[in-house]
Amino acid sequence: MRFTSTEDIEAPIAHVFGEITDFQRFERAALRRGAEVRRSDDLTVPGIGMSWRAKFPLRGRMRELSLRLVEHDPPNRIALEAEAATLEARMSVDLIALSRGRTRLTVVLVLRPRTFAGRLIVQSLRLTRGRVAGRFRLRVAEYALEVEDRFARGA
């Protein structure tokens, strides 16, 4: 199952790339939401091979997830792959400079089942595809506005 969202951001591509690769900010946000997150690599600079392990509550159960950075092409693209007990996911984030101060952000999320239970999850998402896709696009749009706001405050 595939979800795609595109947003134009009023900020230079270098700033937007810096935001999408601020992995410590994402770690802190996950911790604030009740997840346990820890790095599982020893890299000192962002790059291919960065990885995390996370535990978080979802629908009354603790879920575990492993996440790794599989593409890192500054300032154009990053891609992450995630594995959970029932699902695999790949998220790619592409940036295109529309002008010096405007960047197009495209986020693609692909979910694949790993087990029968994963197939049931994906099938239930297909039944509510419109609502789930709408929430995905809304979250990407909110993130784009946050990036714009941080750029405007820092500029």
Three-state secondary-structure class, residue 22: coil
Closest CA to 4 of 70, 96, 92: 92
Which residue's entry shows tokens 């986020």? 107
How many Cβ atoms from other residues are within 10 Å of residue 147's Cβ?
22
pLDDT tens-digit series, residues 67-98:
999 999 999 999 999 999 999 999 999 999 99
Q: Which pTM does this prediction carry?
A: 0.93
Structure tokens at 50: 């960065």
Q: Is 116 exposed, middle or buried (0-12, 13-18, 19+ CB in 10 A)?
A: exposed
pLDDT tens-digit series, residues 109-150:
999 999 999 999 999 999 999 999 999 999 999 999 999 999
Mean of pLDDT over the chain: 95
Q: Please name each of the domains of the chain with its CATH number.
A: 2-154 (3.30.530.20)
Three-state secondary-structure class, residue 75: coil
